[in-house]
Amino acid sequence: MLQLALRTLRFRTGTFVAAFVAMFFAAIVLMACGGLIETGIRAAVPPQQLGSADVVVAGDQTYRAPGGDADEPAILPERVRVDAELERAIAALPGVRDTETYVFEGTAPAGTVDAIGVVAEPGADVAALRTRIDAELDGATSTLVGDERGRAELRGATASSVNVVSLAGVFTAFALLVSIFGVASMLGLSIAQRQKELALLRAIGATPRQVRRLIFRETLVLALVATAAAYLPGQFLGRLVFDLLAQQGIATAGVAFHQGWIPSVAATVVAILAALGGALGAGRRAARTRPSQALSEASLDDRLISGWRFLAGLLFVAAGVALTIVTVTALSGPLAPATAAPAVIVLTIGLALLAPVLAKVMILLIQWPVRALGGLTGDLAVLNARGRTSRLAAVLGPVILLTGVSTGMLYLQTTNDAADKEAYAAGIVADAVVTADGGADPLLVEEIGRLPGVAGASAYVSSVGFVENPDDVSPMGEGWNLQGVTAQSAGATTPVDVTAGTLTDLRGATVAIEDEHAGRLGVDVGDTITLRMGDSTLLDVGVAALFSAAEDYDTLLLPAETLADHTTAGRPTRVLVTAQDGTDPEQLVATLTELAAGRDGLTVADREILFDEYEDQKKTASYAIYIMVLMLVGYSAITTINTLVSSTSARQREFGLQRLVGSTRRQVLEMVGVEAAIVAVTGVVLGTAAALGILVPLSLDRLGSLLPVGPPLAYVAIVGLVVLLTLGATLLPAWRATRGRPAEAAVSVE
């Protein structure tokens, strides 16, 4: 059987080109993701200033939040400083020749530094030294060696590396599903084309098991070659994507791209398993070939859909619906994307699996207009589409996938961005923003507050923190927003309604907290809670007030000075100013500009400056999603072209026969064109339906609108691309297949 498999691959290469291309690109995507994951996990940052140190002691920027993902620790937003006293203790350890302290960001509070570089005695065992140093450290400090050392300088590297790992992880899963599906549909097609050959094998004594094994071995050989060929392009793509991510600030520029043998081997194994997974269904279909088919002409497909495929399709759709329900009901606000993205993929694959059934329904619906407009060629096209459901389903699957995934992922992102921005905007109450480079001290805030037309002026600090005591789970385990405010004007500059206590009590170590959240924690005004601040220090704060706010207002309010002490900057630099009723915001900005004119380092802007900064931050994250979506779309586009080209090229004989009975070449091409249009319309409708299945509930939930937010042109472009691809990938091969004389084509044996 292996010999037959090898000889089939060798002499009928053409039949397998499409499946090979599908496997090849799937392997490239998987390899690239593997490289990104390794790069992210290593987070190797060659050190600059710390180059002379053998071991670097620096703050641990990760925090394992209760309720968070253990593999994906939360990243602390502020520089975690190191106790300067540690230097003396470390210097006293055996094997230490010299120590030096470093401060990389801002001014470190007295008694702290950013990192301690430790130079080992010549010949000392660095690993043993590291262990000795580790014994001196508390939980918030860690040691770094080798290429890790640079992380102490480039603090963002840790955070961005976690992002890269989780992004690449998610896309590995997606790429896997898409590639199993792509390979399965390609193999299905090539088996449909070889039906006579398989029937002959069955007639002369191959058992169904032997036929299945034949398909498996062919696939295995093909997958081995495809993944081997994908090795270098995969590395190249991984590096390219990483560089793009670094350019956009998602990955940190100083981090070195790494693709060792482990992710390559893992990606190879996964790609081969995906191909074999795809061969499962195809092999089963091949094994079902009836031996008597060797005697008869190729018959029309008699079976609409196999039980397995139907079941799998229903399961995927059910899973997609379940994820949608979870998205809308259980997870609210910014959490929604976590389940919405998988929902898109799962729902789309479900519909693609059910394509044979859905195609039948769609054809019933659109046959009347097609027949009315297309005349005889329309008639023929409808008959072809109806008579060859499995061929139709094979070409329809990738089209549905392409439309569904690209539309779904794209608008998911834009809708969520819009909703996030709306939530952010709702959380900021300000008509003007004063930025003080030298720090916004309370006197300045007070001075601004006394200006004419000003309703309130509050210092503004933002960070992220966690509630450690009582036990608490923050949104996605990524912490609560902490906002620093000035007590007397907090009411005028935050969107909250105080329900107990008063915001003017926000002085010293105090906090104001949303009342339902307080209820879950079981605390009330006057109680004390313990916060893990953004710089990893613990802070006991008294609850000064409870408030109610919009559902997605995930913010705790603290006194600006208290919070600023736990930020990298160390002091507030912004003042939010609201205008009195009847005062024009522009007038307010003018008044403030007048004040700023006389001082150094004061600038005035309207509230848009905050939104712009927020969007800048968001943009980088969205960009990462777009790159990954682009990779997936590229892959499904290739699968689509692949499937259509090989399906059309295989019909050479049929086209020849049709021309022999009197069709002109033009009529044949017209018929094929109408068929392609049926595929495109059906695929776009079903793909869009899959995408809307999640987009509509999500935008209802997050924005209260039926339609997702996003540039409508993007959808037009996607549909245009799909139609163009479908028509092009069908008509070009049809044009080529009808180039010869019809009599030759009609007798050409497969």
Q: Compute the least distance from the CB of residue 345 to other proteins, in Å.
A: 38
**Binding flag, residue 7, other proteins (CB under 8 A):** yes
Question: Please, which residues bridge with residue 509 across strands?
Answer: none
Among 200, 276, 685, 714, binds other proteins (CB under 8 A): 200
Token readout for 3 is: 């010999």
Stretches 152-160, 270-278, 286-294, 690-698: which one binds other proteins (CB under 8 A)? 286-294
**Binding flag, residue 204, other proteins (CB under 8 A):** yes
Q: Compute the least distance from the CB of residue 219 to other proteins, in Å.
A: 16
Question: Please, which residues bridge with residue 464 across strands?
Answer: 481
Question: For residues 227 and 103, what is the distance between their CA atoms, to the nearest angstrom?
Answer: 47
DSSP-derived letter for residue 292 is G
Question: For residues 341 and 337, what is the distance between their CA atoms, to the nearest angstrom?
Answer: 6
Nearer to other proteins, 239 or 290 (CB): 290
**Binding flag, residue 267, other proteins (CB under 8 A):** no
**Binding flag, residue 239, other proteins (CB under 8 A):** no
Nearer to other proteins, 290 or 421 (CB): 290
Helix ranges, 388-522 (H): 389-427, 442-449, 490-493, 515-521
Q: Give the count of residues interacting with other proteins (CB under 8 A).
A: 27
Q: Compute the least distance from the CB of residue 390 to other proteins, in Å.
A: 20
**Binding flag, residue 749, other proteins (CB under 8 A):** yes
Closest CA to 648 of 304, 278, 193: 193
Angle between helices 261-287 and 156-193 (to 10 degrees): 30
Nearer to other proteins, 176 or 192 (CB): 192
Through-space distance between the first and last CA atoms of the chain, rounded to whole angstroms: 21
* Rounded to 5°, angle at Cα 201 from 197 and 203: 115
538-548 and 497-501 strand pairing: antiparallel
Q: Which amino acid is at 257?
A: F
Report yes or no: 511 and 558 within 8 Å, Cβ to Cβ. Answer: yes
Report yes or no: 618 and 160 within 8 Å, Cβ to Cβ. Answer: no
**Binding flag, residue 21, other proteins (CB under 8 A):** no
Nearer to other proteins, 5 or 691 (CB): 5
Among 131, 207, 664, 748, binds other proteins (CB under 8 A): 207
Q: Which of 713-742 are b and which e, b meaning 16 or more Cβ less than 10 Å from the residue's Cβ?
A: eebeebbebbbebbbebbbebbeebbeeeb
Q: Compute the least distance from the CB of residue 281 to other proteins, in Å.
A: 19
**Binding flag, residue 4, other proteins (CB under 8 A):** yes
Nearer to other proteins, 7 or 520 (CB): 7
Stretches 7-15, 31-39, 57-65, 541-549: which one binds other proteins (CB under 8 A)? 7-15
Q: Which of 439-472 are b and which e, b meaning 16 or more Cβ less than 10 Å from the residue's Cβ?
A: ebeeebbeebbeeebbbbbbbbbbbbbbbbeeeb
Stretches 8-16, 140-148, 550-558, 625-633: which one binds other proteins (CB under 8 A)? 8-16
**Binding flag, residue 284, other proteins (CB under 8 A):** no
Nearer to other proteins, 92 or 295 (CB): 295
**Binding flag, residue 653, other proteins (CB under 8 A):** no
**Binding flag, residue 97, other proteins (CB under 8 A):** no
Nearer to other proteins, 198 or 381 (CB): 198
Tally the residues of the chain: 750
Q: Could you give the 3-state DSSP secondary structure of residue 458?
A: strand
Stretches 205-213, 327-335, 350-358, 507-515: which one binds other proteins (CB under 8 A)? 205-213
Among 196, 284, 421, 619, binds other proteins (CB under 8 A): 196
Nearer to other proteins, 13 or 48 (CB): 13
Question: Cβ of 232: how many Cβ atoms within 10 Å?
Answer: 11
Nearer to other proteins, 70 or 204 (CB): 204
DSSP-derived letter for residue 306 is -
Stretches 155-163, 287-295, 428-436, 512-520: which one binds other proteins (CB under 8 A)? 287-295
Nearer to other proteins, 149 or 202 (CB): 202
Residues 290-349 contacting other proteins, CB under 8 A: 290-292, 294-296
Q: Which amino acid is at 36?
A: L
Stretches 48-56, 114-122, 193-201, 271-279: which one binds other proteins (CB under 8 A)? 193-201
Nearer to other proteins, 10 or 88 (CB): 10
Nearer to other proteins, 132 or 290 (CB): 290
**Around 574, how many Cα atoms within 13 Å sit in the side-chain half-sphere?**
19
Nearer to other proteins, 201 or 382 (CB): 201
Among 74, 176, 201, 467, binds other proteins (CB under 8 A): 201
Q: Compute the least distance from the CB of residue 201 to other proteins, in Å.
A: 7
Q: What is the DSSP string of 180-246?
A: HHHHHHHHHHHHHHTHHHHHHHHHTT--HHHHHHHHHHHHHHHHHHHHHHHHHHHHHHHHHHHHHHH
- Residues at the site binding other proteins, with contacts judged by CB under 8 A: 3-4, 7-8, 10-12, 196-197, 200-210, 290-292, 294-296, 749
